[in-house]
Amino acid sequence: MAPKNPLSHAKSPAVTRNVKHVVLGDLLFQTWYQSIYPEDLVSKDTDRLYVCRWCFRYSCDADAYANHTRACLHRTTPPGSKVYDHGGYSVWEVDGEYNKLYAQNLSLFAKLFLDHKSVFFDVFSFLYYLLVYTNPEDSSYHVLGFFSKEKLSWDANNLACILVFPPYQHKQLGKLLMGVSYKLSGWEHDPGLIGGPEKPLSEMGSRSYSRFWEERIARYILLRDAQSGDAQDSPQQKQKTPKGTRKRPPHEIMTVQDIGLATGMLTEDVITALKGMGAVETATPSKKRKMPRTSTDGPDESEPVIIRKSKILEWAKAHKTTLDDPIKDDGFVGEWAPKGIKEVSLTSDEEGEGEQDEQDEKEVEKDDEYLTA
Ligand SMILES: [Zn+2]
Ligand 1 center to 228 CA (angstroms): 48
Annotated domain spans of the chain: 15-74
Q: Note the pTM of the prediction, 2 decimals.
A: 0.80
Q: What integer pLDDT is reported at residue 118 of this predicted model?
A: 63
Q: Which residues of the chain have pLDDT under 70?
A: 1-15, 117-121, 225-250, 284-302, 340-373
Ligand 1 center to 152 CA (angstroms): 29
Catalytic positions: 198
Ligand 1 center to 64 CA (angstroms): 11
In whole angstroms, what is the distance from residue 79 CA to residue 102 CA? 9
Assigned fold of 15-74? Wheat Germ Agglutinin (Isolectin 2); domain 1 (3.30.60)
Q: What integer pLDDT is reported at residue 249 of this predicted model?
A: 64
Please give the helix or strand (H or E) that residue 92 lies within, else none.
strand 89-95
Q: What is the pLDDT of residues 229-278, one digit of tens each?
A: 443 333 333 334 444 444 556 688 889 999 999 999 999 999 999 999 99
Q: What integer pLDDT is reported at residue 297 of this predicted model?
A: 41
Ligand 1 center to 356 CA (angstroms): 54
Q: What integer pLDDT is reported at residue 84 of this predicted model?
A: 98
Question: Closest Cα to residue 166, out of 316, 33, 54?
Answer: 33
Q: Where are the alpha helices (DSSP H) in the chain?
A: 62-71, 100-111, 173-184, 203-227, 234-240, 256-263, 267-276, 309-318, 361-372
Ligand 1 center to 77 CA (angstroms): 11
Q: What integer pLDDT is reported at residue 219 of this predicted model?
A: 96
Q: What integer pLDDT is reported at residue 153 of this predicted model?
A: 86
Q: What is the pLDDT of residues 285-338, one digit of tens each?
A: 654 444 444 444 433 556 788 998 999 999 999 999 989 999 999 999 988 888
In whole angstroms, what is the distance from residue 264 CA to residue 195 CA? 7
Q: What integer pLDDT is reported at residue 110 of this predicted model?
A: 95
Ligand 1 center to 65 CA (angstroms): 9
